[in-house]
Amino acid sequence: MARDEKGQLPNRRQVLRGSVAGGVLGAGAVLGVVPGRARVAQAAPPTATTPVAAPATGHGFPKTFAWGVATAAYQVEGAAYDEGRGPSVWDVFCKRPGTVFEGHSGDVACDHYHRYKEDVALMKRLGVKSYRFSISWSRVLPQGTGAPNPKGLDFYSRLVDELHGAGIQPMCTLFHWDFPQALYKRGGWLNRDSASWFGDYAAIVADKLSDRIKLWVTHNEPQCFIGMGHRDGIHAPGDKLKDPEYLTAAHNAMRAHGRAVQALRAHAKGSAADTKIGYVLATQVTQPATDQPEDVEAARWAIFSVRDRNQWNNSWWLDPVMLGRYPEDGLKLYGKDMPAALLKGTDLGDMKQPLDFLGLNIYKAETWRQAAQGGKPEQIPVPPGYPRSAVDWQPITPGALYWGPRFFYDRYKLPVSITENGLATRDQVFLDGKVHDPQRIDYMHRALLELGRAIADGVPVTGYYAWSLLDNFEWADGYKQRFGLVYVDYQTQKRIPKDSFDWYRQVIASSGRNLLGRTALPATRVTDVGT
Ligand code: BGP
């Protein structure tokens, strides 16, 4: 596995750092929040940024809640060379030796391009209300700009029709990392024109599909495609830019987001009020070690501070887009490495376009507390043996689904949608022909209980999209990691719904009500050792 410059495992989602805090947490316990224990809003006086707690019902999923599943084009479509699709940076990256686990690529993936009807039928059986998918930019525009490829656009048109036929609302992500190779050759995100390239692409997609798509996302996780792709070099296109260039690429990606929002609003058909546009972050969530207000504020400080020169912070990627400014601590940290030109002109205003929701991809949380009185916030490390998924960066921390939505809503005041949440496991087909994945069920159960609690405490959450519908091409991990509710045999393309598929089907059918009282969460706070 690739290691970073310090010789450590790559910090995919900021794997919790540091040494063990002796005995603060039993290894089998899970960092999270215990329903029924004192809630923060009860323990602490509400502050200007803290929503006042609604009476705790333990469940808050509204009738309109978008129970969903998510995928992304390069991870599931395959058909990489079919019907006029142009190459993306991922096609090229995968062919470079040593980049992706065992040389895997998305050439075939789940063959969703040819099997989309079967996959939509699976979603219908699952009962999801919404499906989040992404469009391959280079399938629609093989050169990234210029003449569209009608066959590429038609594929998405047929997919959207199929979804509507199944009563499933599409949520379309314009960009989920597969940047057109032709535009990369023209400078990629370092080229200021990248903003208008992306805006023009958004307009073409809106012209074709906005009569049937009302939910839009511009970028998925800019931290990953810019940070991991252009700074760490462990994702496509595999560049290792120095900070000034890395910050320029990030800046242009956020300008592109602004352009795309403008283009979507200008080209969307139907009533403007029906068009809902969001931006999706790879969130780095923190949760407080206890309900005490000082720990809550330590966690809040940590979630929005820019402390290290890497992409794993939230506010560098959100403040410009939501508030029209870069965070002060980040500007101080980068100093002269932040090109002064980026702060001049109208760029920041252009990035800040009105949005309808903030998309949060939430997989885990760090735990923070205030040290001794007058001390600084500090992170509590994950103890040895702590529960983890099959990926290094994912300790099991369900409290992320409470504190993440709450902190992000407090700061940006936008409704949030959980655009991804899920667990990687090493699934297999058992002797009985089924795929049993109790860990995924337990993970999602805990996560949804916490999310329901956030809603009950007043955070507007519009939907939850499980990552993922299908096992798929997990980027540099290839097909090693399985995140799906449906198992995919990549040799035969046979789909086998896992146990979690049936479990989620029942959750959706009951609008989340059957989550109640099923299990009491085990003691999960760092202060609850020994239970
Ligand atoms: C998110 C991506 C998804 C998916 C998921 C799983 O960052 O938006 O595309 O890949 O993470 O994580 P990973 O593939 O990095 O293990």
The pLDDT of residue 274 is 95
Q: Residues, the chain, total?
A: 531
CB proximity list for 165: less than 8 A, separation 6 or greater? 120
CB proximity list for 531: less than 8 A, separation 6 or greater? 26, 29, 522, 523
Q: How far is the CA of 445 from the centre of ligand 1 (A)?
A: 20
Report whether 140 contacts 152 (CB < 8 A): yes
CB proximity list for 161: less than 8 A, separation 6 or greater? 212
Report whether 240 contacts 233 (CB < 8 A): yes
C-alpha–C-alpha distance, residues 373 and 395, integer Å = 29
Q: What is the mean pLDDT of residues 520-530?
A: 39
- Name residue 470's beta-bridge partners: 486
pLDDT score of 308 more than 60 = yes
Q: What is the mean pLDDT of residues 22-46?
A: 35
Q: How confident is the model at residue 30 (pLDDT cuts 50, 70, 90)?
A: low
Active site residue 221: yes
CB proximity list for 446: less than 8 A, separation 6 or greater? 30, 32, 396, 398, 521
Q: Identify which of 475, 477, 481 to mutate to test ligand 1's pocket (most ligand atoms within 8 A of the CB).
A: 475
Looking at per-residue confidence, does 261 or 14 come out higher? 261
74 lines ligand 1 (CB under 6 A): no
For 273-299, how does the pLDDT look when each residue is reduced to its tens digit (9 = 90+)? 999 999 999 999 999 999 899 999 999
pLDDT score of 31 more than 60 = no
C-alpha–C-alpha distance, residues 373 and 447, integer Å = 32
| Amino acid identity, position 182 | A
Q: What is the mean pLDDT of residues 144-171?
A: 98
In this prediction, what percent of the chain has a pLDDT beyond 70?
Answer: 86
Q: How far is the CA of 267 from the centre of ligand 1 (A)?
A: 30
Report which ligand 1 atom has the smallest distance to the Cα of 75. 9
- Lowest mean pLDDT across 13-17, 189-193, 234-238: 13-17
- Lowest mean pLDDT across 27-36, 442-451, 485-494: 27-36
In this prediction, what percent of the chain has a pLDDT beyond 90?
Answer: 84
Q: Using CA positions, which residue lies closest to atom 10 of ligand 1?
A: 474
pLDDT score of 518 more than 80 = no
Q: Identify which of 360, 420, 477 to mutate to test ligand 1's pocket (most ligand atoms within 8 A of the CB).
A: 420
Q: How far is the CA of 69 from the centre of ligand 1 (A)?
A: 13
Choosing from 77, 162, 366, 420, the catalytic residue is 420
221 lines ligand 1 (CB under 6 A): yes
Q: How far is the CA of 113 from the centre of ligand 1 (A)?
A: 20
- 410: which 2 tokens? 């407090």
Q: How confident is the model at residue 373 (pLDDT cuts 50, 70, 90)?
A: confident
224 lines ligand 1 (CB under 6 A): yes
Q: Identify which of 110, 467, 481 to mutate to test ligand 1's pocket (most ligand atoms within 8 A of the CB).
A: 467
100 lines ligand 1 (CB under 6 A): no
DSSP 8-state assignment for residue 525:
S
Q: Using CA positions, which residue lies closest to atom 9 of ligand 1?
A: 72
Q: How far is the CA of 14 from the centre of ligand 1 (A)?
A: 14
Q: What is the Cα 385 distance to its own chain's centre?
A: 26
The pLDDT of residue 29 is 53
Maximum separation of any 2 CA atoms in the chain, in Å: 64
CB atoms within 10 A of CB 505: 17
481 lines ligand 1 (CB under 6 A): yes
The pLDDT of residue 456 is 92
pLDDT score of 368 more than 50 = yes
DSSP 8-state assignment for residue 280:
E
Choosing from 221, 366, 450, 474, the catalytic residue is 221
CB proximity list for 43: less than 8 A, separation 6 or greater? 291, 292, 293
Q: How far is the CA of 231 from the centre of ligand 1 (A)?
A: 18
pLDDT score of 415 more than 60 = yes
| Amino acid identity, position 441 | I
- 257: which 2 tokens? 């987001």
Active site residue 77: no
What pTM value is reported for the model?
0.90
- Name residue 82's beta-bridge partners: none
The pLDDT of residue 344 is 96
The pLDDT of residue 223 is 98
72 lines ligand 1 (CB under 6 A): yes
220 lines ligand 1 (CB under 6 A): yes
Paired sense of beta strands 377-380 and 365-370, if any:
antiparallel
Q: What is the mean pLDDT of the chain?
A: 88
297-319: burial string, b at 16+ Cβ within 10 Å, e else: bbbbebbbbbeeebbbbbbbbbb
For 183-200, how does the pLDDT look when each residue is reduced to its tens digit (9 = 90+)? 999 999 999 999 999 999
Q: How far is the CA of 38 from the centre of ligand 1 (A)?
A: 34
C-alpha–C-alpha distance, residues 304 and 251, integer Å = 18
* Residue in 37, 59, 22 with CA at minimum distance from that of residue 523: 37
477 lines ligand 1 (CB under 6 A): yes
For 46-92, how does the pLDDT look when each residue is reduced to its tens digit (9 = 90+)? 233 333 333 334 467 999 999 999 999 999 999 999 999 999 999 99
The pLDDT of residue 85 is 98
